[in-house]
Chain A
Amino acid sequence: MSRNTKILFYLLMSAISVVFVGPFLILLSTAVKPISQPIFSFPPQLVPLPPVLDWFIEAWTQISFPRYLWNSVLLELLTVPAYLVISALAAYPLARMRFRGRQVVFGLIVSTMFLPGEVMLVPRFLIVSQLGMVDTFAGVVLPGLMSAFGVFLLRQAFEQLPRELFEAARVDGCNQWQTFWRVALPQVAPTMATLAIFAFINVWNNFIWPLVVLKTDSNYPLALGLAYLAGIFGDDQRSLAAGTVMALAPVLVFFIAMQRHFIEGMKGSVKG
C-alpha cells in the first residue's frame, strides 16, 4: 500500500470515528461546561470555556451516586465468578464425558437461545415473585447465572484440549474433580477471561431486568440510577451528563484494558 493510500484510509477511518465517538464527546463537553456557556446553540459550542468539574461533584452528592456504584460493583461480584464456575461445570461433562441424557441436556441448553428476553420478562418476574425474590439482589442475579453462550464457548474450549492431557492426569491419579479443577480449567483460562469480560459488561449495562425486579431505589445499580437521575435532574443537563460520564468511565477503562480479548472471543464464538 502506498503512503498516500494509507493517509487516505486513515482520514476516512477518522471521519467515521467522529460518528461513533461524537455523541460521547458531546456528553463529555456538556459535563464540563460552565454555566455561562449554552448547552445548545446554533452553531454548537462544543469546547467548554473554561472546563469545570462542578457538575461531577453535584452529581456525586445530589443523588446517591456512591450507593448506585456500590450496588453495581456488588452485582458484578455476585454474578461474574458464579457465572464462570457454573458455565465451566456444565461445559466440562458435555465436552469430555459420556453419560446418559447428554443429548437431552445439551438440547435443553440450546433451546434457551430460543427464549427471547422480552417474552420471558413477564413469566420470569412471576417466578421470581413466587420465590419471594422481588426487590432482592438474588432475584436480579440468579436468572443470569446460566447461559447457552457461556456453556457453548467453554464446551468448545474443553473439547479442543488434547486427549493426552486427560490421560496424563488419570495416570497421575486425578479423579474427575481434580482433573477438571487442576488440569482442564487452567488450560481454558483465555476463554474464561473472554467470558468474564462479556459477563462484566452485561451486568454493568443490564437495565430492564433489574428495573423489573428492584422496587427500592436505594437498591438500584448505576444504569437504573442514571435513568432515575435523568428524572430528578430534569433541567440540570450538566449534572446529568456528569453522572453519565461517571457511570460510563469504569466500563470504558475496563474495555480498553481488555480489548484484545474481545476479538478473540468473537472468533471463538462465531463458527461459520
Chain B
Amino acid sequence: MATSATTTNHATAGRIQTAGPRRKARLHGRWHTPYVFLLPALVLLAVFFIWPAVTAVQLAFFDYHVVSPPTWVGLDNFKRLLGDPRFFTALKNSGLFMVGMVPLLVGLPLLLALLVNLPLRAIKVFRLLYYLPVVTSMVVVAIAWNYVFHQRGVLNWALTSVGLFDKPVQFLLDTGWALPALVLVEVWKSAGYYMMIYLAGLQSIPTSLYEAARVDGASSWQRLSHITIPLLRPYLAVVVVLATMDSVQVFTSVFVMTQGGPQDHTMTLGYYIYDKAFREFDVGYANAIGLVLWAILIVFSLVSYRITRGKVTVP
C-alpha cells in the first residue's frame, strides 16, 4: 500500500508530477485515511444492516415470542407456512398487487412523460402537479383518498351519475373493491416518480436525432417508434424492475387504509409480517415469512441486475 509521509513532499515535486499521466485513485495521505472516512458508514452498515440481516435469518429457525428466550425449531416455521392459509392469501394478494400495478406503472407514466416533455411554456407546472403525490406522506394520501372513496364521496357520485354503478360502493370495505382501490392509490401516488425516470431518459436523447429524422421526412409516430422508444429501453427496464419490486412490497398503504381487511382481502406479505411480529409477537414465524419475501425480491433483483447490467441506483 502506497504511503506518502507528508504532503509537503508532493508540494515540492508537484510541478513535475502533474506533467505525467497519473491514476486518479492513487492513495495520497496515510494508509488508514480511507478507512477513517468510511468509519461512520461502516459502523452504521454493520449495526443496522448486517446485524439485523443475520438476526433475521437466524430467528426464522427459532420459536421466539419475545417474552421467553428463543428456542431452536429448525424448519418448523417453514413447515407451518405450508399449512397456513393466511400466508397463501398474503402471497396471492401480493401477486395481485403486482398484476395490477406493474402494467399501469409502466404504461401511464410513459404517456405522462411524453406529455411533460413537450416544448410548452407552462410545462414545469404540470410536472410539478403530477409529482405532488410522490412527495406526500402515505398518511396524508390515505386521509385524502378516504374522502374520495367515501360511500357518499366524489367517486361514487361520479360512477353512479354516469351509470357505471347502480348504487354506491364502500370501496375500502368491499371484499371485491378494496384491493383494486389500493392499487389505484398506489399507482396514483407513484406515477409521477416513474414519469420523472422516463423524463430523465427522454431528455438524454440528443435532439439532433429528431432533427435528422425530421429532415428525412419521418412522421411524429415514426420518430416515437424508431427513436424514442428504442433509446428509452434501458429506462423502460428500470421502470419494470422498480415497479415490480414496489408492488411486491406494498405495505404502508395497506397499513393506513385497510389494515389488511376486509377479511384479509388486502393483506400483503409485508403486512402479514408486521401483523405476526408486532400484533401476535410471533417473531420467529414473522422472520420466516420475511425470508420468503426476501427470496422473492432477490429473484427479481437478480433479474433486474441482468436486464440493466447493475447500473441502476434510484431512491
Spell out A's residues near B (CB within 8 Å): 1, 6, 9-10, 12-13, 16-17, 19-24, 26-27, 30, 39-44, 46, 85-87, 89-90, 92-94, 96-100, 102, 105, 108-109, 111-127, 131, 142-143, 145-146, 148-149, 151-153, 163-164, 166-167, 170-177, 180, 198, 201-202, 204-205, 207-208, 212, 223-224, 226-227, 230, 237, 240-241, 244, 247-248, 251-252, 255-256, 259, 262-263, 265-267, 269-272
Which listed residue (B118, B199, B274, B314) contacts A263, Cβ 8 A? Answer: B199
Confirm or deny: B104 has a beta carbon within 8 angstroms of a beta carbon on chain A: no
Confirm or deny: B128 has a beta carbon within 8 angstroms of a beta carbon on chain A: yes
In the complex, are the beta carbons of B119 and A207 less than 8 A apart?
A: no
Q: Which of B75-83, B175-183, B200-208, B209-217 faces chain A?
A: B200-208
| Nearest chain B residue, comparing its CB with the CB of A228 | B139
Report how many residues on chain B are interfacial, defined by Cβ distance under 8 Å.
119
| Nearest chain B residue, comparing its CB with the CB of A167 | B18
In the complex, are the beta carbons of B283 and A120 less than 8 A apart?
A: no
- Given known A124-B52, A205-B138, A266-B199, contact A272–B311 (CB-CB < 8 A): yes
In the complex, are the beta carbons of A171 and B14 less than 8 A apart?
A: yes
Give the docked Cα–Cα distance between A28 and B18 (Å).
Answer: 62
Contact bitstring B79-96, A, C-beta under 8 A = 1, else 0: 000000000000000000
Confirm or deny: B301 has a beta carbon within 8 angstroms of a beta carbon on chain A: yes
Residues on B with C-beta less than 8 A from A6 are: 120
Residues on A with C-beta less than 8 A from B124 are: 259
In the complex, are the beta carbons of A126 and B55 less than 8 A apart?
A: yes
In the complex, are the beta carbons of B38 and A98 less than 8 A apart?
A: no
Give the docked Cα–Cα distance between A230 and B277 (Å).
Answer: 24
Confirm or deny: B72 has a beta carbon within 8 angstroms of a beta carbon on chain A: no
- Given known A171-B18, A267-B204, contact A119–B294 (CB-CB < 8 A): yes
Residues on B with C-beta less than 8 A from A201 are: 135
Contact bitstring B141-166, A, C-beta under 8 A = 1, else 0: 10111011011111011001100000
In the complex, are the beta carbons of A244 and B144 less than 8 A apart?
A: yes
Confirm or deny: B107 has a beta carbon within 8 angstroms of a beta carbon on chain A: no
Cβ contacts A to B, 20 pairs, < 8 Å: A9-B115, A20-B132, A23-B141, A30-B147, A42-B157, A42-B161, A87-B41, A99-B34, A99-B35, A102-B34, A108-B45, A116-B293, A122-B290, A205-B138, A208-B255, A223-B137, A227-B256, A240-B143, A255-B132, A266-B197
In the complex, are the beta carbons of B118 and A43 less than 8 A apart?
A: no
Give the docked Cα–Cα distance between A93 and B138 (Å).
Answer: 36
In the complex, are the beta carbons of B301 and A114 less than 8 A apart?
A: yes
- Given known A97-B27, A269-B314, A271-B311, contact A86–B40 (CB-CB < 8 A): yes
Kindly provide the distance from the CB of A194 to the nearest chain B CB, expressed in whole angstroms.
10
Give the docked Cα–Cα distance between A132 and B22 (Å).
Answer: 49
Residues on A with C-beta less than 8 A from B252 are: 207-208
In the complex, are the beta carbons of B143 and A171 less than 8 A apart?
A: no
Q: Which of A87, A111, A170, A224 has the most CB of B within 10 A?
A: A170
Residues on A with C-beta less than 8 A from B31 are: 99
| Nearest chain B residue, comparing its CB with the CB of A243 | B143
In the complex, are the beta carbons of A98 and B25 less than 8 A apart?
A: yes
Give the docked Cα–Cα distance between A99 and B37 (Å).
Answer: 12
In the complex, are the beta carbons of B277 and A116 less than 8 A apart?
A: no
| Nearest chain A residue, comparing its CB with the CB of B290 | A119
Spell out B's residues near A (CB within 8 Å): 1-2, 7-8, 10-11, 14-15, 17-18, 22-29, 31, 33-35, 37-38, 40-42, 44-45, 47-53, 55-56, 59, 112, 115-116, 118-120, 122, 124, 126-133, 135-141, 143-145, 147-148, 150-154, 156-157, 160-161, 188, 191-192, 196-197, 199-201, 203-204, 233-235, 237-238, 245, 249, 251-252, 255-256, 269-270, 273-274, 277-278, 283, 286-287, 290-291, 293-294, 297-298, 301, 308, 311-315
In the complex, are the beta carbons of A263 and B196 less than 8 A apart?
A: yes
Which listed residue (A127, A212, A267) contacts B48, Cβ 8 A? Answer: A127
Given A87-B41, A89-B38, A167-B14, 11 other A-B residues pairs in contact with their CB atoms under 8 A = A23-B145, A24-B136, A86-B40, A98-B27, A113-B313, A145-B40, A205-B138, A237-B147, A247-B140, A270-B312, A272-B238
- Given known A170-B14, A207-B252, contact A270–B143 (CB-CB < 8 A): no
Give the docked Cα–Cα distance between A88 and B192 (Å).
Answer: 28
| Nearest chain A residue, comparing its CB with the CB of B313 | A152
| Nearest chain B residue, comparing its CB with the CB of A174 | B7
Which listed residue (A146, A180, A241, A262) contacts B41, Cβ 8 A? Answer: A146
In the complex, are the beta carbons of A123 and B308 less than 8 A apart?
A: no
Residues on B with C-beta less than 8 A from A270 are: 197, 200-201, 235, 238, 312, 314
Which listed residue (B14, B140, B294) contacts A226, Cβ 8 A? Answer: B140
- Given known A123-B52, A207-B137, contact A118–B269 (CB-CB < 8 A): yes
- Given known A118-B293, A205-B137, contact A175–B7 (CB-CB < 8 A): yes
Residues on B with C-beta less than 8 A from A176 are: 28-29, 33, 37
Residues on A with C-beta less than 8 A from B45 are: 108-109, 112, 146
Residues on A with C-beta less than 8 A from B256 are: 207, 227
In the complex, are the beta carbons of A89 and B40 less than 8 A apart?
A: yes
Residues on B with C-beta less than 8 A from A16 are: 112, 115, 126, 130
